[in-house]
């Protein structure tokens, strides 16, 4: 029983981090209809920034917001200088989603190469800001540590902030409107180009947070060729697709589903099946609902 609860706790923590990454993917998809693989590279780059700030300042609480800001700036930069010209070129008939995907893969490669150039064999370190030792309950150690509570707290806080921004602010209304109906939004006076950049920036900040939390929840260190970040990108994307790629709530559900099921498989079945299980979960969900858990049938025309 303890073991099962622990497995769930581990799964929820990992899943909440996947959710953040999924949110990063969903935000970009909603604002520009681009599957953004560069998000993994952006998370990695901003985590390196976070590690550098942590080294200088010694404070996780300074490093995290700075990394988020860096992620937002990097992401907005990429949207403005790469994706916008590319999408303007391919024009309105945006049926070819393959090209933007490939472009973001190229960007991912360039980001990793640049990080490799700067860091080489050196690694960035983000040790857990709080103890990762589980609490002891009636003699047994449960997997709920101060660190896990912190991670879950940060993710929850971000989700609340995002919900408020999306539902209660002018920026949120603009973001929603621009993603549903760009043309009508422009006619209503929304600067859709600017709003898209803002969507990418928020995505970058979410991805940066995911990167920092993934690092501190995992090995505590990052390298340009970090396996943990490939995982984060793949599972974040899979979570986003499970959730229906359009929906922030879906991204959260997808991330938690994935995190919990993978933790159970890791504990009770075997480590080498985890990746295949991710594929199976995805295809099972999509067989029942080809638009994901919270997807819109037939896709959205806008």
Partner 1 sequence: MLKIENLTVDHGAIRALHGVTFNIEKGQLAAVIGANGAGKTTLLRTLSGLNKASEGAAHWGEHNILHAKPESLVRHGISHVSEGKSVIPELTVADNLDLGALWRRNRKEAAKSKQDVVDLFPRLGERLSQRADSLSGGERQMLAIGRSIMSKPELLLLDEPSLGLAPLVIEQIFQAIRELTTAMGLTVLLVEQNAMGALKIADIGIVLNLGSIAATGSAAALRDDPAVRAAYLGF
Partner 2 sequence: MHNRQITNRHRFIGFALIALVVYILSNIVDEWRSYQGATVAVYVVAIASVILLTGYSGQISLGHGALLAVGAYSAALTQIYLHAPVWICFVIAVLTTALFGAILGTAAARLSGPYLAGTTLALAVGLPSIANQFSIFGGEQGISFDAGWPPLSFGENFTQYKWFFWIGSLAALIAMWWVQNILRSRYGRSWRAVKSNEVAAELAGINIGRSKVLAFTISSGIAGLAGALLAMTMNNVSPSAFPLALSFSIATGAILSGVNTLGGVMIGSVALVAIPEIASSIADRWSGSENLATLLPEFIVSALLILTVFLAPKGPIEKLRSRHSK
Question: Is 176 one of the binding residues for partner 1 (CB under 8 A)?
Answer: yes
Name which of 92 and 121 has its Cβ closer to partner 2: 121
Site pattern 198..217 for partner 2 (x: CB under 8 A): --------------------
**Binding range to partner 2, per CB under 8 A, among 131-139, 165-173, 209-217, 286-294:** 286-294
Question: Is 80 one of the binding residues for partner 1 (CB under 8 A)?
Answer: no
- Positive or negative: CA dihedral 289, 290, 293, 294: negative
CA 230 from chain center: how many Å? Answer: 12
Question: Is 101 one of the binding residues for partner 2 (CB under 8 A)?
Answer: yes
What pairing do the DSSP bridges indicate for beta strands 140-141 and 221-222? Answer: unpaired
Site pattern 37..66 for partner 2 (x: CB under 8 A): ------------------------------
Question: Is 106 one of the binding residues for partner 2 (CB under 8 A)?
Answer: yes
Answer yes or no: are the C-beta atoms of 28 and 34 closer than 8 Å: yes
Among 20, 28, 54, 192, binds partner 1 (CB under 8 A): 192
Name which of 89 and 301 has its Cβ closer to partner 2: 89
Site for partner 1 in 100-139 (CB under 8 A): none
Name which of 107 and 150 has its Cβ closer to partner 2: 107
- How many residues contact partner 2, by CB under 8 A? 52
Total Cβ atoms within 10 A of residue 233? 26
Could you tell which of partner 2, partner 1, none binds residue 188, using a CB distance below 5 to 8 A set by kind? partner 1
- How many residues contact partner 1, by CB under 8 A? 17
Question: Is 165 one of the binding residues for partner 1 (CB under 8 A)?
Answer: no
Among 109, 156, 161, 169, binds partner 2 (CB under 8 A): 109
Exposed, middle or buried: residue 93 (CB in 10 Å: 0-12, 13-18, 19+)?
A: exposed
Question: Is 174 one of the binding residues for partner 1 (CB under 8 A)?
Answer: yes
Question: Is 286 one of the binding residues for partner 1 (CB under 8 A)?
Answer: no
Could you tell which of partner 2, partner 1, none binds residue 286, using a CB distance below 5 to 8 A set by kind? partner 2
- By the criterion CB under 8 A, which residues form the site for partner 1? 170, 173-174, 176-177, 180-181, 183-192
- By the criterion CB under 8 A, which residues form the site for partner 2? 29, 35, 82, 85-86, 89-90, 96-99, 101-103, 105-110, 112-114, 116-117, 120-121, 230, 234, 237-238, 240-241, 245, 270, 272-280, 282-283, 286-287, 290-292, 299
């Amino acid at each position: 029983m303890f073991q099962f609860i622990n497995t769930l706790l581990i799964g929820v923590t990992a899943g909440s981090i996947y959710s953040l990454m999924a949110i990063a993917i969903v935000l970009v998809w909603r604002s520009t209809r681009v599957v953004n693989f560069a998000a993994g590279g952006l998370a990695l780059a901003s985590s390196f920034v976070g590690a550098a700030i942590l080294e200088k300042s010694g404070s996780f609480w300074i490093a995290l917001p700075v990394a988020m800001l860096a992620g937002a700036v990097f992401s907005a930069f990429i949207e403005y200088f790469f994706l916008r010209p590319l999408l303007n070129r391919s024009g309105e008939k945006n049926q070819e989603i393959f090209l933007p995907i490939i472009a973001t893969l190229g960007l991912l490669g360039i980001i990793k190469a640049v990080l490799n150039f700067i860091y080489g064999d050196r690694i960035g370190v983000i040790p857990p800001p709080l103890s990762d030792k589980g609490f002891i309950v009636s003699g047994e150690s449960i997997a709920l540590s101060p660190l896990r509570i912190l991670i879950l707290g940060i993710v929850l806080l971000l989700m609340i902030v995002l919900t408020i921004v999306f539902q209660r602010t002018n920026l949120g209304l603009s973001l929603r409107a621009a993603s549903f109906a760009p043309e009508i939004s422009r006619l209503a006076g929304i600067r859709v180009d600017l709003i898209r950049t803002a969507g990418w920036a928020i995505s970058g900040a979410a991805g940066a947070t995911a990167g920092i939390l993934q690092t501190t929840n995992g090995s505590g260190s990052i390298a340009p060729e970090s396996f943990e970040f490939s995982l984060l990108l793949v599972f974040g994307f899979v979570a986003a697709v499970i959730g229906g790629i359009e929906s922030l709530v879906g991204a959260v559900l997808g991330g938690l589903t994935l995190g919990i099921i993978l933790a159970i498989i890791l504990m009770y079945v075997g480590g080498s099946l985890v990746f295949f299980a991710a594929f199976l979960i995805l295809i099972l969900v999509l067989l029942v609902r080809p638009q994901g858990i919270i997807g819109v049938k037939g896709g959205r025309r806008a």
